[in-house]
Amino acid sequence: MVLVAIILSACAPGTPDEDSWRVDALRSIGDVSSSVSSVQLALQHHDRLFGPYLQTVAVQAEDAAGTASTKLSAVQPPEPYQGRSDTVTSALDDAESLLTDARIAVVRRDSAAYADLVRRLKRTGDRLSRIEDRIRALPDDRSRP
């Protein structure tokens, strides 16, 4: 019976304290923002890059964003941050989807789509930056009595 309880408790998602969740969220947002910026820059200069390199940038950015997004979504947010968590995971999912669109366009060599993708990537990067700023501005748990 004790063995069953130990196994079941190991399967439950961890609930970090508020500071830990903030650190995890900021790391994930930063990783996804970096992926978005990398693809945006690569698409802006696609005429100066070899096709295989552009594909590599797009594929690796999509993979990195997926990993970052999955890591954060696997962590149960503390109760006071549930709403913020929903905002963050939604933004990360949207960014990941956009990176998938960009990768598809790059693999298809659909350069006519690049200008629109660059605009969308810029807006997504700006959105992630605003969310990151709001999370950084949250009060530190250690300052509470």
| Domain presence at residue 1 | no
Number of domains in the chain: 1
CATH number (domain holding residue 80): 1.20.120
Count Cα neighbours of 140 within 13 Å in the Cβ-side half-sphere: 2
| Domain presence at residue 143 | no
| Domain presence at residue 88 | yes
Predicted confidence (pLDDT) at residue 142 exceeds the cutoff of 50:
no
Does the reported pTM lie above 0.75? yes
Q: Are 132 and 33 in contact (CB under 8 A)?
A: yes
| Alpha carbon distances (Å) from 39 to 8, 23, 50, 121 | 41, 25, 14, 8
pLDDT of residue 141: 52
State the average pLDDT over residues 63-68: 96
